Amino acid sequence: MKREHLIKPVLDHHYPTIQYGKGVYLYDDQGKAYLDASSGAVTAGIGHGVQEIIDAMLEQAGKVSFVYRSQFTSEPAERLAKKLSDLAPGGDYWSFFVNSGSEATETAMKIAIQHWQEKGRLGKNKVLSRRMSYHGITMGALSMSGHVLRRRRFIPLLEDFPVVAPPYCYRCPLNKTYPACGLACADDLETAIKRIGAEHIAAFIAEPVIGAAGGAVVPPEGYFKRIKEICNRHEILFIADEVMTGIARTGAMFAMQHSGVEPDLMALGKGMSAGYTPMAAALVKDHVMEPILKGSKSIMSGHTYSANPQSAAVSLAVLDYMEKHQLVEAAKVKGSYLLARLERLAEQFEPIGDVRGAGLLLAVEFVSDRISKLPFPAGLGLTSRIIDKAFHKGLLVYPAAGGVDGAGDAVIVAPPLTITEAEIDLLVQLLEETVREVLQEISG
Ligand code: PLP
């Protein structure tokens, strides 16, 4: 293998070098255009090269780019925390700023554990999560994740946090059907709590819409209301991982607003700065902060770049841009247009088993047969083939480990919320060509 210096995700793979981006397109150094139908990793929510964000960046850089959080605060960080609290479900959230979604979920986990410690409940330090979940790649976040493939290499080093059934109605892990099931997947949390003992559990973490570990899996009506009610009854904090769903992506500023539930903590990342700078946050409700404010008055976590003024200024500019261009509404309207187009695609291809999602976080799941819903053999690498073929055609879509415990194929389609209908039409045309060609290849 050729000696290089940059560690890339797959070391012997050729990754084109991107020169610039504008709107929903990225352009490489060979002049090839890529329609960014995944917003990178569901991140570039307002598209690339937006002048207002560049202006905000330059303005803040002209003042100060970095201050150390143990010495100073900054105006952008203070304004951003207030703004997020105003936008979040029910308000009254404090923000702990970090640099990635993994740090956000891990910080939320630490704050939840500290909350109980400050109350003298020292045994409450496990975090429950779900099979088919992804909360990040650092060891704490990975311990809370059910993503089989991403955990595999590190299992001996991970905390043994229990997982419960995901709300995956297309292929229910409890072999039930909604609504006759009576939300058995939510009740699975209560069964686990009784088995483990609430006195050992600090929090339960879940994605409002399952992202990378399932592919835009939306829970059934009433699921999160039941989850929150179970958590409250057993004195367990509920952490909503809004890293992928947050900041307008699903047609609400926070996806939890669809279910009318106010989480005790939330994790934000990705869309928060729309990819212009690294920025993420753990959001903490007043009542969770209370014992900490009365007790040690300090949270034992944080990073050198936490609450970076440059990133906070960018994030404020992104939120302003979203409000100015009504992108929450756009995610809803464009999302239903794209969903309808993908459903039409499913009518053409028998192996498209399911099309689902919320707002502009959508996914297509592939099955070898629609009746049995059996996935294609793993060795076929169907998801990778679709991603690669689309890439070759200049279309970016995002892989998801569709199916229970990753045994399935799904691709996420989540373009910037600024995408036009004409661009959606082109996206679907390229995806249709991709699916047709890949299915032809594997059938013969
Ligand atoms: N949580 C969710 C729901 C995610 O989708 C991701 C990333 O895909 C993360 C956490 C981790 O975020 P990051 O990759 O920024 O560390």
Query: Across residues 103-109, what is the average pLDDT?
Result: 98
Whether the CB-CB separation of 213 and 145 falls below 8 Å is answered with yes
DSSP state of 210: B
Q: Is 67 in the pocket of ligand 1 (CB under 6 A)?
A: no
What pLDDT does 407 receive?
84
Of the candidates 240, 188, 235, 244, the one whose C-alpha atom is nearest the C-alpha of residue 215 is 244
Q: Is 211 in the pocket of ligand 1 (CB under 6 A)?
A: yes
**pLDDT greater than 80 at residue 1:** no
| Mutational test site, ligand 1, from 109, 127, 135, max ligand atoms within 8 Å of CB | 135
Q: Is 431 in the pocket of ligand 1 (CB under 6 A)?
A: no
| Mutational test site, ligand 1, from 243, 303, 315, max ligand atoms within 8 Å of CB | 243
Q: Ligand 1: which residue has its CA nearest to atom 1?
A: 135
Q: Is 281 in the pocket of ligand 1 (CB under 6 A)?
A: no
What pLDDT does 149 receive?
87
Q: What is the pLDDT of residues 75-94, one digit of tens each?
A: 999 999 999 999 999 999 99
Whether the CB-CB separation of 339 and 355 falls below 8 Å is answered with yes
Report how far ligand 1's centroid is from the alpha carbon of 134 (Å): 7
What pLDDT does 406 receive?
82
Of the candidates 295, 243, 298, the one whose C-alpha atom is nearest the C-alpha of residue 271 is 243
Q: How confident is the model at residue 2 (pLDDT cuts 50, 70, 90)?
A: confident
Q: What is the pLDDT of residues 393-404, one digit of tens each?
A: 999 999 998 878
What pLDDT does 226 receive?
98
Q: Is 105 in the pocket of ligand 1 (CB under 6 A)?
A: yes
Of the candidates 221, 274, 260, the one whose C-alpha atom is nearest the C-alpha of residue 414 is 274
Q: Is 136 in the pocket of ligand 1 (CB under 6 A)?
A: yes
**pLDDT greater than 90 at residue 3:** no
State the ipTM, two decimals. Answer: 0.99
Q: What is the pLDDT of residues 358-415, one digit of tens each?
A: 999 999 999 999 999 999 998 999 999 999 999 999 999 999 988 788 889 999 999 9
Q: What is the pLDDT of residues 303-343, one digit of tens each?
A: 999 999 999 999 999 999 999 999 999 999 999 999 999 99
Rounded to whole angstroms, how far apart are CA atoms 41 and 382? Answer: 19
Report how far ligand 1's centroid is from the alpha carbon of 123 (Å): 28
Output the pTM of the full model: 0.98
Q: What is the pLDDT of residues 20-49, one digit of tens each?
A: 999 999 999 999 999 999 999 999 999 999
Distances (CA, A) of 267 to 51, 84, 214, 391: 28, 12, 19, 30
Give the domains, in start order, of the chain with CATH numbers: 18-49+326-443 (3.90.1150.10), 53-324 (3.40.640.10)
Instruction: Tell me the pLDDT of the chain averaged across its residues.
Output: 96
Query: Across residues 56-73, what is the average pLDDT?
Result: 97
- Position 91, amino acid: G
What pLDDT does 127 receive?
98
Report how far ligand 1's centroid is from the alpha carbon of 196 (Å): 27
Query: Across residues 296-301, what is the average pLDDT?
Result: 94
**pLDDT greater than 80 at residue 444:** no
Q: Ligand 1: which residue has its CA nearest to atom 12?
A: 101
